[in-house]
Amino acid sequence: MAGENAVIFHSGLRAGSVAETASPVREDRAGRPTGCRQLHTDNGMAAVETGEGEARTQWAALAGVTAALAMFGAAQGLSSPLFTLLMQKQGMSAGAIGLSAAMMPLGLILSASFVPTAVKLVGARTLAVSCSLIGAVCFLAIGYLQDWIAWYVIRFIIGVVINPLYILGEVWALSLAPPSRRGRVMGVFNALMGAGYAAGPLALTFLGSSGWGPFLVGIVGFILCAVILRAVSSKLTGFEDDGQPSGGLIGFARVAPALLLAVLVSAAVQQSTYALIPVFGSGYGLAEAVLAALVMALSLGNIVLQIPLGLLAERFGGRSMIIACALATAACALALPLVITTPLVWVVLLVMGAVGYGVYTMALVELGSRFKGSTLVAGNAAFALMWGAGGIVGPPSAGLLMQAMGPIGLPVIIAGLDAVLIAFALYRSVSRRRS
């Protein structure tokens, strides 16, 4: 599926009935495919596809997948603050609210290993559309069931159903992207996902948590995701069953441990920073309004700088850019205590938000360049598992270190995690060259 060769998408033909016998589609200087590709069926009949026609189909499908995931991102971005506000209205403690927040990553982690199997059983399209519709039903249930116990269960279910959307959305994006443009495609993909996540809380500021307004945003977001994916579904076939053993999550961990560590570190750093940067700023006497703006600066960097990072990945490779982003993240973290009370803090946070999440984007680019088919699905499932694990382990560990060391504990743990990633990535790079 993804990889350095052009992707073939079958139209109603089962894997094995079509074989590629000609050279892959080439690109001209503008990046447009040229020439044609010949496919031979089992009965010896030949079919010819033009490069330009196939390119338009793939770009349309890619746009559809990106739009669908942005809709889902808006619904998902709204859910976290919505749950917090609803539970605060019921007088629940901060501990109970925090435990509720853990239900979603728990669902992500527990469902990750089942996604490759589910794809083989029901197909990627059916799985993605079904999960989107279940997400809509969950938001409907939140509005009807004004009960905190039910909310715990619903939040867990949301974590379970959004995982296939994450995994399959990224698999489709990696597979549809031309190899020469994979970096910028994933940059745009993640930037729009980030914009979707930002749109959710923004909608909540206008609608509030009362009435059916916020629930309708979530319902409509998931339904639109399902509708769009269904509309482009005919362009998304062909990778679910490629006849290749995936090796499962453990098998993938053996061949790409550095990529999984990159995802774990990126998740731990990102979620720790978002959760605790207000605490860090308050330790230096910043006003409450400024504390909220610190988080916004991180989010803005995440959105606007993913595309430039993707372009750099195309030039230098995903592996090199993982190390570069980790170095930049560590440098920004160590600079925070020096600039937190100066205007330079906004520049540092802008860059930090970009390169911190950029580690994950670069890992995706490297994943798409090295793996395809079932292995790619297993890899994305492993990525989801590592992201959930990083979200569970990172913030509590950073919080404990800040409790022991003061505000400086946050930049220390961020720099430490990135240092471990850099060291291991360099070790794996040297080992691969020797072998």
Confidence (pLDDT) at 263: 94
Confidence (pLDDT) at 343: 92
Confidence (pLDDT) at 434: 75
Confidence (pLDDT) at 170: 81
Confidence (pLDDT) at 17: 34
Confidence (pLDDT) at 363: 92
What are the residues facing 19 on neighbouring strands?
40
Give the predicted TM-score (pTM) of the model: 0.71
- 273, 332 Cβ separation under 8 angstroms: no
Domains of the chain: 55-235 (1.20.1250.20), 248-434 (1.20.1250.20)
- 178, 24 Cβ separation under 8 angstroms: no
Confidence (pLDDT) at 52: 61
The three-point CA angle 4-257-383 to 5° equals 75
Confidence (pLDDT) at 28: 44
Confidence (pLDDT) at 85: 72
In degrees rounded to 5, what are phi and psi of residue 90?
-85, 5
Distance CA 291, CA 97 (A): 21
Return the amino acid letter for 104: M
Q: How is the beta sheet containing 36-41 ordered, strand by strand?
A: 18-20, 36-41, 46-50
- 303, 362 Cβ separation under 8 angstroms: no
285 CB burial (10 A radius; 0-12, 13-18, 19+): exposed
Instruction: Give the pLDDT of the chain (435 residues) as one tens digit per residue.
Output: 333 333 322 333 333 333 333 333 344 434 444 444 444 433 333 333 445 656 666 777 778 888 888 887 788 777 777 776 777 777 776 667 667 777 887 888 888 778 888 888 888 888 989 999 998 998 888 878 877 778 888 888 988 888 888 888 888 887 777 777 888 888 888 788 778 777 777 777 677 767 787 888 888 888 988 888 888 766 665 454 445 555 566 778 888 899 999 999 999 998 888 878 888 888 898 887 788 788 778 888 888 888 888 888 888 888 899 999 999 999 999 999 999 999 999 999 999 999 998 999 899 888 888 887 777 888 888 888 888 888 778 888 888 888 889 889 999 999 999 999 999 999 988 887 776
